[in-house]
Amino acid sequence: MEDTSWISNILANPFYRGLLIGLVVALLLWIRGAVKARQLGSNYKKLKDHLHTKLEIDAEETERRKAQTDQLKQERDNLRNMVQVLNQKPGRQELRQIQVYQKAVEIMFEKSPGFAPAWQITLKEAEEEMQKAERGIIPFFKRMTSSSSSMTDKKHLELEQSTGE
């Protein structure tokens, strides 16, 4: 009975009663804090793992984009080199010059109203002369001479025919 009386004496004393209640509350709060700390630790680990995974994925994507950019730069340089090589091949400069002349003719058609009929007549004459040269009517060496001499000969012949001589 002495054991019960000793416990009852402690519980009967208000100081010890308050101390006991305070210790019980402190113990409950400490347990609750430990549980929260454990949950926060696990959340921290999850977030850390998630961030690590995301950074790895982003790094891989960045490396892939760098590789793709390098590949595209290489292809661009190769294509630029191919264009330069193709422009230097025989006939390419002539084709480019023909395109420039064609564009110039189109601009002249738009800007000069009297240019179109004169150009069409001159073009027909040049086509007829080339057809005759291809058939062998005009000798080869005359075909190679300047076009100005053949044009003056034609104009001279036309003037002679129109005057009746």
Residues 75, 6 share a domain: yes
What is the rounded average pLDDT of the residues 121-127? 79
Residues 61, 105 share a domain: no
**Tokens encoding 6:** 């000793």
Confidence of residue 101 (pLDDT cuts 50, 70, 90): confident
What is the rounded average pLDDT of the residues 131-136? 70
Residues 109, 143 share a domain: yes
Residues 30, 6 share a domain: yes
Residues 75, 57 share a domain: yes
Q: Is 146 helix (H, G, I), strand (E, B) or coil?
A: coil
| Cβ-Cβ contacts under 8 Å for 116 (sequence gap 6 or more) | 109
What is the rounded average pLDDT of the residues 83-107? 76
- Per residue in 141-164, pLDDT (tens digit) is 555 565 545 555 555 555 555 544
Residues 72, 6 share a domain: yes
What does the alpha-carbon distance between residue 38 and residue 44 come to, in Å, rounded to a whole number?
10
Q: Alpha carbon of 129 to those of 57, 93, 120, 160: distances in Å?
A: 72, 25, 14, 19
Residues 116, 60 share a domain: no
Domain endpoint, select from 52, 80, 108: 80
pTM of the predicted protein model: 0.37
- Per residue in 17-58, pLDDT (tens digit) is 899 899 999 999 999 999 999 999 999 999 999 999 999 999
| Cβ-Cβ contacts under 8 Å for 105 (sequence gap 6 or more) | 119
Domain endpoint, select from 46, 80, 114: 80
Question: What residue numbers bound the domain in which 33 lies?
Answer: 2-80
In total, how many domains does the chain have?
2
Q: CA-CA-CA-CA torsion for 156, 158, 162, 164, nearest 10 degrees?
A: 60
| Cβ-Cβ contacts under 8 Å for 140 (sequence gap 6 or more) | 133
Residues 110, 47 share a domain: no
